[in-house]
């Protein structure tokens, strides 16, 4: 069986909600996903945008 993952569109929507001011903890709770996943997606997004070094 393949690895469970979230589609890029879902991850983008989660990051958009964070940019609107919601907390990682609240979004994670509301969507029943781990806070660590959200932090990982946010870190990757910032890297992709060139905002943080690798």
Residue-wise pLDDT tens digits, 4-19: 689 999 999 999 999 9
Among 4, 15, 1, 5, which Cα is nearest to 48's? 15
What is the C-alpha R_g of the chain? 12
User: Quick check: 51 pLDDT over 80?
Assistant: yes
Label residues 13-49 b or e (16+ Cβ within 10 Å = b): ebbebbeeeeebeebbeeeebeeebbeebbeebeeee
User: Quick check: 2 pLDDT over 70?
Assistant: no
Query: Is residue 15 a contact partner of residue 41, using CB atoms and an 8 Å limit?
Result: yes
């Amino acid at each position: 069986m393949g690895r469970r993952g979230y589609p890029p569109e879902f991850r983008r929507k989660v990051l958009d909600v964070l940019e609107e001011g919601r907390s990682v903890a609240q979004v994670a709770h509301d969507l029943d996903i781990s806070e660590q996943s959200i932090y990982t997606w946010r870190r990757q997004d910032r890297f992709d945008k060139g905002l943080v070094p690798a």
